Structure formats: structure tokens, C-alpha cells
Copies of this chain bind each other. A is one copy, B any other.
């Protein structure tokens, strides 16, 4: 969700961390097809050093997506003043956080869905990381839905995920804005229909 910045060039980060930070920034901004040269230049790391640390650019991509995950999840489901809220509010809060993130300059949608769309290869090591990120959010929705008394928690989670991913992708592509609460309102309608009140 957040827009990662390139690693600081003050030099305290290790070459590995600089590669992962620069990778997270460039893959998100420009796509997974950016070249090794551009990646190493942004990280201030030689190609030789990169290949000593990682087997390939694909490995940097997978590792950078994995490294972002805790921050991504914390941003979506971080406790707010409604920490003790009911599952319904917790689910809606995710869609509100999405709208907040989407309003930031440089927002380009969910980095995990983007990686999957760009790689077009479910077996790619970075696709595996992205699938895991998506499964974790879906499972979180399912658990909240179950806790909230949904008639069919699995199905409700499967309905919420496309709303999340579609809203994120469309907002990232500047096809629509989420600033008026559109995604949360859609989620609320689905929660109503599933009996999560």
C-alpha cells in the first residue's frame, strides 16, 4: 500500500538492504521489467555485488515484495481508535485505509496484484510471494467475517477481495478515485447482504 522510497544514500544501509529498498521503489513505480543496471544504479551497488547477494533480479523482486509485506499489512489493519471494534468495522477500516493510501502521490495500486499481473506466471518466485500476501488478506477477511457472524465467511471473503483488488488497481491506474468512500460503501453492501452487522 505504501509508496516505498529509494534507500537513503547516506550509506548506513547494507548493500542487500539498499538493493531491496531500491527494488521495492523501482518495481512498484516502473514495473517488474526494469533492468538490472537501473536497479543497481539506484541502489548504489555494483552488478557483481548484486549477483553475489542474489541469484537473479527475480530473486531481488521476490525478496523485496516479501520484505514489504509486514509494513503493507500493518498499514491496512493497524489498530485505530476503534481497535476493539466489531469485525464489521475492522473490515470496513481496511477499505478506508486503502482509500487513504490511494490518495497519496505515487500510488499505483497493490504491489502484489501488480506483480502478478505483470509477471503473468503463477509459478514465478515473486508470484508466490504475491499469492501469499493475497491469501493472507483473504484469510483475514474470512476470519473477521466468521467472527462477525457471516452466513458464509469464505464466500464473503472471496467477494471482498475483488472489490479490494479492483478498487486498488483502478485507483492506481487513475480510472477512478476512492476518496468518496466508494470501496468501503461497496464492502458495506456486501457485509449487509452476508449478515455481518
Q: How many copies of the shown chain assemble into the complex?
A: 2
Q: Is the pair A167, B166 in contact by a Cβ cutoff of 8 Å?
A: yes
Interface 0/1 of A95-125, CB less than 8 Å to B = 0000000000000110001101110101000
Q: Is the pair B118, A173 in contact by a Cβ cutoff of 8 Å?
A: no
Q: How far is the CA of A189 from the CA of B158 in the complex (A)?
A: 14
Q: Is the pair B173, A186 in contact by a Cβ cutoff of 8 Å?
A: no
Most central of A29, A131, A169 by chain B CB within 10 Å: A169
Instruction: Note all chain B residues with C-beta closer than 8 A to A165.
Output: 166, 169-170
The yes or no answer to A185 lying at the interface (CB within 8 A) is: yes
Given A161-B166, A169-B169, verify A117-B109 contact (CB < 8 Å): yes
Q: How far is the CA of A75 from the CA of B92 in the complex (A)?
A: 34
Q: How far is the CA of A170 from the CA of B186 in the complex (A)?
A: 18
Q: How far is the CA of A187 from the CA of B192 in the complex (A)?
A: 14
Instruction: Note all chain B residues with C-beta closer than 8 A to A185.
Output: 159
Residues of A at under 8 Å CB distance from B?
29-31, 33, 108-109, 113-114, 116-118, 120, 122, 127, 131, 134, 155, 158-159, 161-167, 169-170, 172-176, 182-183, 185-186, 189-190, 192-193
